[in-house]
Structure 1
Amino acid sequence: MSQETIHIAIVEDDNEIRQTLTLIIDGSQGFSCKHSFPDGEAAINAISADSRIDVVLMDIDLPGKSGIDITRYLKLKCPDLDIIMLTVQSDDDSIFESLCAGASGYLLKDTNPADLLVHIKEVFNGGSPMSSHIARRIINSFRALKNPLSDRETEVLKMLSKGLNYKEVASEMILSPHTVKTHIKNIYSKLHVNTRAEAIHKALKQKLI
């Protein structure tokens, strides 16, 4: 039984990178580079639901519209199209904007060619491949969302939960009482509470301390 061929399109403005990716894909059994585009507008004009493209490798820094904008447009046009961002960008905004735009995966350009093919097959089979560095960034961001308190605010709340008053907390943390009160005010605001008891109760319930 012959292996099903995965048809791929590349959107990359760097000619050398685009050509290298094309050679890697076309030189590997089960993979075919159907199209390669130097910019997003060319991809928009060529890709449709009838294009028989399974996976798009999308750069972010493109001339004209960004790869994130192109991803958003293509997903509206072709909802079943799988798009993997292949980029040097590893900042939180680029990662989350790409995923919100509809990207199914996010890889860095230093991904090993053999691993890249594995990831293409993974997304084709319904997965969401991520470079390990990107996955760590996402996990850390979700942890931050779970706990809205800063490390210093968490420490202050832990001490309050042990029965220390403002002055004792200030002494323990080598802070001024005014700074401690500012931290507590921020804690109340972030946890949407009005008293020390409510703050401690909510923090314990949500396992923030």
Structure 2
Amino acid sequence: MRIFNADGSEAMMCGNASRCIGKYLYEYGLTSKNVITLDTLSGIKILELHLEGRTVETVTVDMGIPLETGTIDFDGEFPFLSTQVSMGNPHLVTFVDDIRTVNLSEMGPKLEKHPLFPDRTNVEFAQITGENTIRMRVWERGSGITQACGTGACATAVAAHLTGRTGRTVNVVMDGGTLTIEWDEATGHISMTGPAVKVFDGTIELRE
């Protein structure tokens, strides 16, 4: 799987796209298996398809082990602490009391292109809204504000647990829907479970 952002840059991994790929392969008859191996720039991912008849309703993706976690304080430049997490691509997660107060259009690009991140970073702002429930909004590197981000949801879950805010299994609620994220204590692997919904069929003409 290869993923390209809105600005033409290539993404290392996309959790939402991996679920869509699983649904596409099965429902269009390109595989009859409900467990699929997916090769990405950030490594091999394992997809488990959850079926209702011949329809893929949800997909669980083994997202691997989170890397390069740490706290960023910006030396007082911003009035918050953030957690850096790599899910094969870089994320910066910041917890706030009320996510509605965050101007993501302003803060997103500032943090994405901050000198601390020479390769840029994805930016998540998150709020704990209940026991093991997180509300999250995302500014994606190369794309801007999006409705949801699978790797971002995973990074947010990791940051929440590392900072003592939640347990290892959480629901991450985004504008585009909810994902269930589980961080297995024994293996260290993150699993992401969520829906994949067909929007439309179409054709595109590719020109050299």
Relative contact order (C-alpha < 8 Å, sep 6+): which is higher? 2
TM-score in same-fold range (> 0.5) = no
TM-score with structure 1 length normalisation? 0.26
- Say which one has the larger Rg: 1
TM-score with structure 2 length normalisation? 0.26
Larger helix proportion of the pair: 1
